[in-house]
Structure 1
Amino acid sequence: MFNINYIELFILNTLIYFDLFDYPLTLLEIHQYLYTGGMEGSSYTLLEIEDCLNNSENLKKIIANKNGFYFLQSREKIIEMRQKRYVLAEYKFKLARRVIQIFKYLPFIKLVAVCNNLAYLNAKKDSDIDLFVITAKNRLWLSRFFLIIIITLLGLRPPKEKVKDKICLSFYVTEDNLDLEPIKIASEDIYLNYWLVQLLPFYQRENFYDKFMDANLWLKKYFPNFSPKKVGQRLRIDDSKINANIYELKEYFWRGKLGDMLETWLKNFQYKKMSQQKKDLAIIGDKRVIISDDMLKFHENDRRLEYLEKFEKKRKELIEKL
């Protein structure tokens, strides 16, 4: 199919995907995020990748490097873009941490992770802060209600326009629905695949990030070199005795029938408030919007298919040059 060998193809896959978002990669990042497209057993060491980058005549025609970054030919400008966005991401991380510090007092929250471009330090100036949330089972609607109340009171709930530095809470799952493979839009949903491995868990209880990644081990056939993120103390938010006692007390009172009644009432209340467009997309089974008791996903502007088409088009163009 292609006039290049496997390791050349996988390196090219990886650089093309990140080029869609104006992001050059280091050698270590190419190794970590090496994308095989689902070809299981295709694992390469850091030295093998470095040797290929240095000696492949094919790759030399379409890939360049400077200052430790690798990128597609004629795309040197994205090095400066990456460096500027790093500074922006640090500011957005601080804002996210301040908000999540409040979230940790809530009951039934298992994990809060930064997602999308911000998760790998590639946020644009006017972008919002996307968070992914895992909750206890049968408490999804209650958890969402209190999360939304908090960001509303803080003035951080994003309006339709001017979303800069607002908190976007548009994706929730429960602890008994962690496998996201069923929501793929195609056999090779490259955006979802990368979205998952780039998640940055700021706050978790009961090691839920590891549980989540264990439930999505199918990712290994796409990223053979990937290992779950270890977030350092600078970004990680840990429980204190005070907040742990507070959320455990709330869970005790809302764990039984009272909590069940509240969950049902808040589900009906929130569903009535949702736009008809969301409801219609969910009813027809459109994977952009999912409304259920174990998953809430509100991505009307889901661009996964667009990115997949751009990725495949760019790969075809580059390989035809060889």
Structure 2
Amino acid sequence: MKLKRKSKLSLEQEAVLITLLYADIFDFPLTKSEIWRYLIAKKKMDQRVFDQSLQSLPSYIVQVNSYYCLINREKIIEKRIKNLPEVEKKLKIAQKVAKRLSSIATIAFIGISGGLAAQNVTPDDDIDLFIIVKKDSVFISRFLIMVLLQSMGIRRRYGQKRAPNKVCVNLLIDETALTWPNAKQDVYIAREIAQIQPLFQRDEMLVRFCKHNKWVKNCMPNAFEHIPIISVHSNSISQIISTILAFPLFEIIMRMLQTAIMKGHKTTEIITNNHLAFHPKDYRVDTLDQLKLKIRQLGLLTKI
């Protein structure tokens, strides 16, 4: 789809339009509150100006019920509405999993990431989790997480092409690796962080994570405005067991075993002592390139 620029837009109008351009890359419409939350802008915008900007782009965007998308892209609204029951189904699974995983004493935060965090899923999709653990406990935590997921019958295994409703911990870091690397502080990562749906935390870990990533607000100034925390109760017996296993010796043993296994099929994964990232395909560069192309096609002045 190619849209032609008809008139010069204000920076505020461009911010609204670029936010919808970004969502369109994923064939996904947004509600008004989502456009506000994920607004791609250099600085904070007044709510009244935002409302006016959103309503002043009839040549570019369309509203159907409570959803907004680019003009002539209304079919993606139908798709989102159709998949709403699937979103609810997967959210319930994620909440159940978080309740079980919260019994692992080394886990400080559990959040939904990826497509489910954005509410953009289909029946065939898995459930991605982002987990933060205590210092020097990445590998023992991963071992305990895999054991629990396996016992629940919902662990996504390496190499599975289709894994509907299976759980994948695609990002696991410890509390010494909260700040995102400077080289990857961009709109794509900002959106991934801003859309995380928290399920569980200890010691205000989410607050700490947000403070370490204040740069996100340079891309999305409305990020971190309202982040609900869902209370999850832990199993005391499981906590005792995981606390015993969290001794440094067990971490060293688990690190040696797991790194040896992962070396055999390592591709784009990131494996360090405090950071494990499992992304079979990195969409970051391609997504940013597509966004820049869309911006150029419309002749917008905003630089990403």
TM-score by length of 1: 0.84
- What corresponds to 1:224 in structure 2? 221
Please state how far the C-alpha of 1:169 moved relative to its aligned partner: 1.3
Q: What is the aligned counterpart of 1:264 among 252, 257, 262? A: 252
Aligned equivalents of 1:217, 1:25: Cα separation in 2: 24
- What corresponds to 1:33 in structure 2? 38
Q: Secondary structure at the match of 2:147?
A: helix
Q: Secondary structure at the match of 1:110?
A: strand
**Equivalenced residues, count:** 292
* Larger helix fraction of residues: 1
Q: What is the aligned counterpart of 2:288 among 281, 286, 308? A: 308
Aligned equivalents of 2:147, 2:182: Cα separation in 1: 30
Please state how far the C-alpha of 1:247 moved relative to its aligned partner: 5.5
- What corresponds to 1:202 in structure 2? 199
- What corresponds to 2:171 in structure 1? 171
Deviations 1:260-316 (Å, cap 9, x if unpaired)?
A: 1111011111111114342xx5xxxxxx42211110112131111111111111222
Please state how far the C-alpha of 1:229 moved relative to its aligned partner: 4.2
Please state how far the C-alpha of 1:192 moved relative to its aligned partner: 1.3
Q: Secondary structure at the match of 1:124?
A: coil
Q: Is the 8 A contact 2:62 2:68 kept in 1?
A: yes
The CA RMSD measured in Å over matched residues stands at 2.1
- What corresponds to 1:53 in structure 2? 54
Q: Is the 8 A contact 2:106 2:243 kept in 1?
A: no
Aligned equivalents of 1:102, 1:251: Cα separation in 2: 12
Q: Is the 8 A contact 2:127 2:168 kept in 1?
A: yes
Q: Is the 8 A contact 2:30 2:68 kept in 1?
A: yes
Q: Secondary structure at the match of 1:217?
A: coil
TM-score by length of 2: 0.89
Q: Which blocks of at least 5 consecutive residues in structure 1 are unaligned?
A: 282-287
Q: Is the 8 A contact 1:31 1:45 kept in 2?
A: no
Q: What is the aligned counterpart of 1:23 among 28, 49, 57? A: 28
Please state how far the C-alpha of 1:67 moved relative to its aligned partner: 1.4
Aligned equivalents of 1:162, 1:190: Cα separation in 2: 28
Deviations 1:220-256 (Å, cap 9, x if unpaired)?
A: 1111122254336xxx24235xx2x44653465345x
Shift in CA distance, 105/141, structure 1 to aligned 2, threshold 3 Å: same
- What corresponds to 2:95 in structure 1? 97
Please state how far the C-alpha of 1:154 moved relative to its aligned partner: 2.4
Aligned equivalents of 2:12, 2:113: Cα separation in 1: 28
- What corresponds to 2:275 in structure 1? 295
Q: Describe how 1:1-322 pairs up with structure 2 within 5 A.
A: 3-36=8-41, 39=42, 42-55=43-56, 59-159=57-157, 160-182=160-182, 184=184, 189-231=186-228, 236-239=230-233, 243=235, 245-246=236-237, 249-250=240-241, 253-254=244-245, 259-278=247-266, 288-319=268-299
Q: Is the 8 A contact 1:179 1:212 kept in 2?
A: yes
Aligned equivalents of 1:274, 1:252: Cα separation in 2: 25
Please state how far the C-alpha of 1:204 moved relative to its aligned partner: 1.0
User: How many percent identity over aligned positions?
Assistant: 29
Aligned equivalents of 1:225, 1:193: Cα separation in 2: 11
Q: Secondary structure at the match of 2:44?
A: coil
Q: Is the 8 A contact 1:109 1:133 kept in 2?
A: yes
Deviations 1:185-228 (Å, cap 9, x if unpaired)?
A: xx6x3221100000011111112111111110111111112225
Could you tell me which amino acid in structure 2 is paired with residue 314 of structure 1?
Answer: K
Aligned equivalents of 1:151, 1:266: Cα separation in 2: 17
